[in-house]
Chain A
Amino acid sequence: MTDTTTPGENPAASGTTRAERVTRTLVRDVALPGGTGTMALVTLDNGLDHTKPNTLGPQGLAELTAALRGLQQRAAAGELVAVGVTGKPYVLAAGADLLGVGAVTRREEALELGRAGHAAYELLHTMGVPTFAFVNGIALGGGLELALNCDYRTVSSDVGALGLPEVGLGLVPGWGGSYVVPHLVGIEKAVDVLLTRPAASKPFKAAEALDAGLVDAMFDAADFLERSIAWAEQVVRGEVTVPRREPDPEPVWDAVLSATRRRLDAVVAGSRPAPYRALELLAGARTWTRAEAFAAEDEALADLIMSDEMRASVYAFQLVSGGKKPAGAPSPDLARPVTRVGIVGAGLMAAQIALLVSQRLGVPVVMRDLDTERVEKGLGFVRSTVEKLVGRGRMTPEVAARVTASVHGTTQIEDLAGCDLVIEAVTEVMDLKKRVFAELEGIVAQDAVLATNTSALSVTEMASVLQHPERVVGIHFFNPVAQMPLVEVVKARGTSDEALATAFAVTKKLRKTSVLVADRPGFVVNRLLVLVMGKVVEAVENGTPVEVADSALAPLGFPMPTFELFDLVGPAVGLHVLTSLREELGDRFPRSPGLEKLVADATRVVLDAPGPGLPKPVNPEIQEAFGPARPGEPGVLDAHGVLDSVLTALTVEIGHMLDEGVVAAPQQIDLCMILGAGWGFHTGGITPYLDRTGYSERVLGRRLLPAGVADVPRDAG
Chain B
Amino acid sequence: MTVATESSPSSPGAVRAAGRRPVRDVVFVEGVRTPFGKARPDGLFAETRADDLVVKAVRELLRRHPELPPERVDEVAIAATTQQGDQGLTLGRTVALLAGLPTTVPGYAIDRMCAGAMTAVTTTAASIAVGASDVAIAGGVEHMGRHPMGVGADPNPRFLAERLVDAEALDMGVTAENLHDRFPHLTKERADAYAVNTQARYAKALANGDIGPEIVPVAVRSAERGWGLATADELPRPGTTMEAIAGLKTPFRPGGRVTAGNASPLTDGATASLVAAGDVAEELGLPVAMRMVSYAFAGVPAEIMGYGPVPATDKALARAGLTIDDIGLFEINEAFAVQVLTFLDHYGIADDDERVNPYGGAIAVGHPLAGSGVRLMTQLARQFAQHPEVRYGLTTMCVGLGQGGTVIWENPHHADYSGHVPASTEG
Contact = CB atoms under 8 A, between A and B. Distances in A.
Contacts of B226: 26-28, 41-43, 45
Contacts of A26: 224-227
A225 B55 CA distance: 14
Interface string B209-234: 00000001111010111111101100
A47 interface: yes
Contacts of A223: 55-56, 59-60, 219
A30 interface: yes
A33 B59 contact: no
Contacts of B227: 26, 28, 41, 43, 86, 225
Nearest to A157: B100
A547 B56 CA distance: 65
B315 to A, nearest CB: 40
Contacts of A86: 227
Given A33-B217, A229-B217, A230-B217, A222 B229 contact: no
Contacts of A224: 219
Given A45-B223, A89-B221, A229-B217, A222 B98 contact: yes
Which of A29, A43, A86, A230 gathers most chain B CB within 10 Å? A43
A26 B216 CA distance: 24
Interface residues of B, number: 21
B225 A226 contact: no
A412 B98 CA distance: 50
Interface string A19-53: 00000001111110100000001110101000000
Nearest to A39: B229
A86 B220 CA distance: 13
B99 interface: yes
Nearest to A87: B227
Interface in A42-95: 42-43, 45, 47, 86, 88-89
B141 to A, nearest CB: 16
Interface string B65-98: 0000000000000000000000000000000001
Contacts of A222: 55-56, 59, 98-100
Nearest to B229: A30
A220 interface: yes
Interface in A200-241: 220, 222-226, 229-230
Nearest to A30: B229
B231 A31 contact: yes
A220 B231 CA distance: 20
A226 B99 contact: no
Contacts of A29: 228
B355 to A, nearest CB: 30
Contacts of B228: 28-30, 41
Nearest to A28: B228
Given A33-B217, A45-B223, A47-B223, A226 B55 contact: no
A148 to B, nearest CB: 20
Given A47-B223, A230-B217, A225 B229 contact: yes
A31 B99 CA distance: 25
Contacts of A30: 228-229, 231
A84 to B, nearest CB: 9
Nearest to A228: B219
Contacts, number: 60
A637 to B, nearest CB: 63
Contacts of A33: 217, 229, 231
Contact of B219 (A45, A47, A220, A229): A229
Nearest to B99: A222
Contacts of B217: 33, 226, 229-230
A229 B217 CA distance: 10
A325 B407 CA distance: 62
Interface residues of A, number: 23
Contacts of B216: 226
Interface in B98-129: 98-100
Contacts of A31: 229, 231-232
Contacts of A45: 223, 226
Contacts of A28: 225-228
A226 B98 contact: no
Contacts of A226: 56, 216-219, 229
Contacts of B56: 222-223, 226
Nearest to A42: B226
Given A33-B217, A220-B100, A223-B219, A229 B59 contact: no
A230 B56 CA distance: 14
A86 B98 CA distance: 22
A41 B216 CA distance: 18
A29 B231 CA distance: 12
B220 to A, nearest CB: 9
A36 to B, nearest CB: 12
Contacts of B225: 26, 28
Max chain A C-beta neighbours (<10 A), residue from B219, B221, B224: B219
A222 B219 CA distance: 11
Contacts of B59: 220, 222-223
A365 B217 CA distance: 53
Interface string A278-290: 0000000000000
Nearest to B56: A223
Interface string A138-178: 00000000000000000000000000000000000000000
Contacts of B100: 220, 222
A47 B225 CA distance: 11
B221 to A, nearest CB: 7
B46 to A, nearest CB: 14
Contacts of B219: 223-226, 229
Nearest to B58: A222
Nearest to A229: B229
Contacts of B221: 43, 88-89
A31 B59 CA distance: 21
A224 B52 CA distance: 12
Interface string A643-681: 000000000000000000000000000000000000000
Contacts of A43: 221, 226-227
A47 B226 CA distance: 10
Contacts of B231: 30-31, 33
A26 B232 CA distance: 21
Contacts of B218: 226
Contacts of B224: 26
Nearest to A134: B227
Contacts of B232: 31
Contacts of B55: 222-223
A88 B47 CA distance: 13
Contacts of A89: 221
Nearest to B57: A223
Nearest to B228: A28
Contacts of B60: 223
B215 to A, nearest CB: 8
A27 B223 CA distance: 12
B229 A41 contact: yes
A303 B209 CA distance: 60
A223 B63 CA distance: 12
A705 B226 CA distance: 43
A453 B361 CA distance: 74
A229 B216 CA distance: 13
B102 to A, nearest CB: 14
Interface string B189-221: 000000000000000000000000000111101
| 4 closest residue pairs by CB, A with B | A43-B226, A26-B226, A225-B219, A28-B228
Given A26-B227, A30-B229, 6 more contacts: A43-B221, A220-B59, A220-B100, A222-B55, A225-B227, A229-B219
30 contacts: A26-B224, A26-B225, A28-B225, A28-B226, A30-B229, A30-B231, A31-B229, A31-B232, A33-B229, A33-B231, A41-B226, A41-B228, A41-B229, A42-B226, A43-B226, A45-B226, A47-B223, A86-B227, A89-B221, A222-B98, A222-B99, A223-B55, A223-B56, A225-B229, A226-B56, A226-B216, A226-B218, A226-B229, A229-B217, A230-B217
